[in-house]
Structure 1
Amino acid sequence: MTNPNVSKTMSDPMHHYQGYWMIFVLLFIVFMGIALVGQLFVLNWRSWLPGAEESMSMFDGVRASVYTVISQVS
């Protein structure tokens, strides 16, 4: 029988997802800052972020750019 108290190994899929979400949140915060600065100064910030060119809202544009960068990294 296996011991249920054995700690999880690095091959645990949840460890991969935790790293993914940490990268996602970090990039989202950085890109949201860029978008907010661009929005405050009435600049075309969507052309600065990859994948956000045709988005209608700021959140959709930032999310699209984060997914674009993550897909390029992995």
Structure 2
Amino acid sequence: MADAASRDRWQHTASLMALLANCHRDAKKSRAFRPKDFHPFEKSRRSQSERKPPKVGIGVLKQVFVDRRPLSATE
């Protein structure tokens, strides 16, 4: 029951966030946002297996987090 209440509150919040984002977007440059774009409980359109892995090596993590170089300097 607590899960249902949490989902209901998030549905309300996601609807408001989509409304606000749509008010401030450029209609010519981007698609309209939907509440599920902001809802943390909604499943993503792609499953984990369909997502493409990143195309950068693990060395980028060292450069960013250990050496503290900005990402633009690594490219």
Q: TM-score range by the shorter chain?
A: 0.3 to 0.5
| Structure showing greater Rg | 2
Q: TM-score, normalised by structure 2?
A: 0.40
Instruction: Name the structure where helix makes up a greater proportion of residues.
Output: 1
Q: TM-score, normalised by structure 1?
A: 0.40
